Structure 1
């Protein structure tokens, strides 16, 4: 059998075949080779999604596996660094928590990917979670309970990991100019990890989100500013505005007193929607930094603001401010949590830097991420 596939389809078929995920490979081939497709033409978005089912062409798949193993296919970008194959980690039931790494010219970073039991090869949202200083992907997953939410709502979660070699405290280097620019430093690595997951799994490209805590929150703001076409919304918890510092001394100053930040040079495209959380008793990252993120993200736009107060039963009071555009889309939410310190609101004590007294930042972020804005609305810059 002659198999004539477009480059993107060939790349996905190859990776699935090498992983011996033959049912998914078969489903993808069924779509790519359906009657009426002209050889070499790019598939429609849903043709790359795949679907559950038994292997369609066992003999052809085995032949394809043999050819891939012998290296007969010249993959697009084959000379570029590729992420290491994920190694399955123990997980309850059919869900998977996979470990992998990504490498490019800026270096290498590990990451963990959570694939819920409900994943069947159809396009799903992707949430990129950036941990804070001293944390790890596993710690952050336990504290935020984002994997449990992924099981409930059916999306993928990827946790890029910072290394002690890149920063002794395992902080993302949000204060370094080289790590505040598109296609450079850590932004290129985080975007590369995001795209590696998109290459290996069926991801809804219009529903990719990035969120983080503390240094990870500052990094999430940088990712939203430098890759606005990649992320539909960002979540900044106890973080700082993009460009809030230019070195370690100015970083410490911004953390103590706040900083307005600055948009990156060469910025293009509309900013993604944003949701911001900050405790008003945070002594690690001053609460005014949350206000600075809001100011940077609204950027002088004429937005209507609605403010409401609330309280979690047996928990914290909070103030929630909704910034709404003329078409009715809430483009930004700000949560100020009264009495809370430097911790993920509503998190689990199974992880570090969490405050179980709420409100539940994980669920509120997901509600904000997954709600559907106006079809014409991608951002407002």
Structure 2
């Protein structure tokens, strides 16, 4: 009996040692998307969701990521790759949800005079309140705040960069339009708008003046701009990609001729516009054959790299 107990004890001991040597899978991330109901001044009546990774450095970067018409913040969080990138690189993601109803569903305001004026109110002011909240509550870095979005969110991205150059360091606009492309709310639906029916063609100077008029007297640095558009977009014409390039290169005082052109992926053609120091201030990526379907796989990572958060 004594020998049997000893043998059994040896077996159990060996089993415990074996189990201890097996690498168990790491626990799943506990970080979750949470709604923030009271984030501050909210003239646009937006909703806010935030994603804060389990591990963030001191003073993490903040990325504002915006959905297209008819969408919402949680949906864009699920369909885009920004949460996974946040886990990887330790930045905070803010997902606003638009509530203004149009013929296209709920869309971000880029047509009202309030949305085109620094401190004017509407959706841009609400988003800046979200950024302030993230800085105060999560320790976000005011010097590393970025904007990105798809379709209506891409349009709002360009609006934020124009109206609040003192808040945003850079932006990546997917399938957006130049700032002030829409004259008013009646001009917003694509099937009636001069902006997206192919007839919008302003000079670079006119486009640049619109940005400068959004914040009169501002002399600080301007946010860098990344522009994405599919060449076969049936909703927001590809032609508007060049109008946006004209606008932002003029804002930076750059030539409309690219400093360099390459293909980071086979279907991507990237034009870069650098200043005299070699810093790329404007970057335009044309996605061959793509419709109204951006961002696609790998594009969010390219945006985060452009921001300087990764890569």
- Give the TM bin, normalised by the shorter chain: 0.7 to 0.9
For 2:181, the equivalent position in structure 1 comes to 244
Larger CA Rg, structure 1 vs 2: 2
Secondary structure in 2 aligned to 1:299? helix
Any unmatched runs of 5+ in structure 1?
1-91, 348-359, 373-381
1:253 correspondence with 2:203: no
Q: TM-score, normalised by structure 2?
A: 0.79
- Superimposed CA distance per residue, residues 115-145 of structure 1 (whole angstroms, 9 cap, x where no aligned partner): 111126x111110011110111111112211
Normalised by the length of structure 1, the TM-score is 0.65
Q: Does 1:367 align with 2:305?
A: yes
- SS at 2:117 equivalent: coil
Q: 1:178 offset after TM fit, Å?
A: 2.4
- Give, in angstroms, the shift of residue 345 of structure 1: 3.1
**1:321 equivalenced with 2:271 (yes/no):** yes
Q: Counterparts of 1:287-306 in structure 2 under 5 Å?
A: 287-299=238-250, 301-303=253-255, 305-306=259-260
- Would the alpha carbon gap of residues 147 and 371 (structure 1) be closer, same or farther in structure 2, given more than 3 Å must change? closer
Equivalent residue in structure 2 for 1:212, among 142, 149, 154: 149
**Superposed CA RMSD:** 2.3
Aligned mate of 1:145, from 73, 76, 81: 81
Q: CA deviation at 1:164?
A: 5.1
After superposition, residues 193-204 of structure 1 pair within 5 angstroms as: 193-204=130-141
Structure 2 partner of 1:178 = 114
* Distance across 2 between alignment mates of 1:105 and 1:223: 15
Higher relative contact order (CA 8 A, sep 6+): 2
Change (3 A) 1:283 1:119: same
Partner of 1:104, secondary structure, is coil
Q: Structure 2 CA distance, aligned partners of 1:186 and 1:171? A: 10
Answer whether contact 1:241 1:259 (CA < 8 A) is retained.
Answer: no
Shift of 1:337: 0.5
Correspondent of 1:307 among 258, 261, 272: 261
1:79: which partner in 2?
none
- In the alignment, structure 2 segments of 5+ residues that lack a partner are 1-27
- Over 3 Å counting, the alpha-carbon distance change for 1:259 and 1:186 in structure 2 is farther
Task: Give SS of 1:343's match.
Answer: coil
